[in-house]
Structure 1
């Protein structure tokens, strides 16, 4: 393979030029997971009131869709960047599909509850908590699912780093892979923080019930900071490579 002729994205040469059957299967699985987030009807709305009620569920769907898109794009970016499809990657990709199928219902429940909270009840919540134990468990299940998805993507990029010589990765591409690992470790860290907060909240501190969900808000700060930090360094190393 002549690496000099490969397209470049973000300083990384795109080795995965062809869409494989494995990628197609993963894409189809994520597409199916998205359909499970869509508002379901026993019948199509036939009045404005029913349509309006369906539209109230849109914020939760969009939030859940964004989370699934985050992990789908992580897999897509890995596939395009490295074109690696050995036994380890096949197993990890299948694990990603299985974890996504498990994760989609806790995701829908938590996102509907979050949108209900942020909209002051305008968006309906499907998260009906009967006890403090149930409250803790749903955030534990959600956090574990979130962390597992992030861990799989991190593992895939770490595996690519172990294959650096075989893939002929240069300094920019190795740094980009390490940045992916670090970013997904940050996702795991926020999920772990959320689980700890859910387990630690006293039963009668109502205002603290929002803390497990707000823990994920840290990603709105951490992810852009890491993107800028690593992005500049990768681009600088890529410029040196191209100049050479």
Structure 2
């Protein structure tokens, strides 16, 4: 159920959104453990290099590891912000958070594989060839590129679809949570932001499946749209939020923090 005791005086974040989740719940503790395990799976090597050559080989995976770590940290931050803002710990939140953790663990290996390929190809290496028993075996054949992007994009879509559902659930609980008009606006904005990320993932899948020979490459390039799309969305939403705050202040109905 929703936390039975929501503090009468809520602490507020820097953006004015009241923080209703001031304590770390068992659900969040489990989530942190899962995210920690997922990051462990990203580690290039679990063994300490014994020679300089082994060390240099391990360091080649640093860029890919950093990119994967940054993406997982972003997912963790979105989840952390949700629990801090709304303090929800009911059945729906528990189920959706469980789905998120499942997807994160599933997403780790496709994430590591894709970023490893991208970084290696960018540096001129040939990571798609391995040599078991002296023979070259393609790690990724041409016909598998579309499916690889589909798997990667499916994980990306699932993560942000869960965040959209979590914030929609918070909207349904707005009376219990006593969300202000500005907080409702911000929550709707989080739903829209998640939906935009889902749209980019869907576009990537469509390009991978129906883009022909260039489909897999275009599917990867689709993720470069995230920056401009989020910037435009943030700019438009920021202006709308400022107008809302100004109107509420003029009417004497502004309630922030």
Shorter-chain TM-score above 0.5: yes
Task: Report the Cα distance in structure 2 between the residues aligned to 1:53 and 1:45, rounded to whole angstroms.
Answer: 9
Cα distance, 1:83–1:49 mapped onto 2, change above 3 Å: same
- Residue in 2 aligned with 1:15? 20
Among 61, 83, 106, the alignment partner of 1:102 is 106
- Residue in 1 aligned with 2:221? 214
- Residue in 1 aligned with 2:115? 111
Task: Report the Cα distance in structure 2 between the residues aligned to 1:173 and 1:21, rounded to whole angstroms.
Answer: 26
Query: Alpha-carbon deviation of 1:116?
Result: 2.2
- Residue in 1 aligned with 2:42? 37
Task: Report the Cα distance in structure 2 between the residues aligned to 1:242 and 1:165, rounded to whole angstroms.
Answer: 15
Q: Aligned to 1:9, what secondary structure does the other structure show?
A: coil
Q: Which has the larger radius of gyration?
A: 2
How many residues matched?
A: 238
Among 130, 155, 159, the alignment partner of 1:145 is 155
Cα distance, 1:202–1:233 mapped onto 2, change above 3 Å: closer
Q: Is the 2:174–2:184 Cα contact (8 Å) retained in structure 1?
A: yes
- Residue in 1 aligned with 2:85? 81
- Residue in 1 aligned with 2:134? none
Task: Report the Cα distance in structure 2 between the residues aligned to 1:236 and 1:24, rounded to whole angstroms.
Answer: 38
Task: Report the Cα distance in structure 1 between the residues aligned to 2:238 and 2:22, rounded to whole angstroms.
Answer: 22
Cα distance, 1:31–1:236 mapped onto 2, change above 3 Å: farther
Q: Is the 1:14–1:80 Cα contact (8 Å) retained in structure 2?
A: yes
CA RMSD, 1 decimal? 2.4
Q: Is the 2:149–2:216 Cα contact (8 Å) retained in structure 1?
A: no
Task: Report the Cα distance in structure 2 between the residues aligned to 1:27 and 1:109, rounded to whole angstroms.
Answer: 23
2:169 is the alignment partner of 1:159: yes
Task: Report the Cα distance in structure 1 between the residues aligned to 2:51 and 2:146, rounded to whole angstroms.
Answer: 38
| Alignment gaps of 5+ in structure 1 | none
Task: Report the Cα distance in structure 1 between the residues aligned to 2:238 and 2:9, rounded to whole angstroms.
Answer: 21
Q: Aligned to 2:49, what secondary structure does the other structure show?
A: coil
Cα distance, 1:3–1:226 mapped onto 2, change above 3 Å: farther
What per-residue deviation string (whole Å, max 9, x for no partner) do you get for residues 55-108 of structure 1?
A: 110111111112112211111111011111111000001111111111111111
Where has structure 1 moved over 4 Å in runs of 4 or more?
Answer: 1-5, 124-127, 235-239
| Alignment gaps of 5+ in structure 2 | 1-5, 130-137
2:202 is the alignment partner of 1:202: no
Task: Report the Cα distance in structure 2 between the residues aligned to 1:236 and 1:3, rounded to whole angstroms.
Answer: 28
TM-score (norm 1): 0.88
Task: Report the Cα distance in structure 2 between the residues aligned to 1:50 and 1:221, rounded to whole angstroms.
Answer: 39
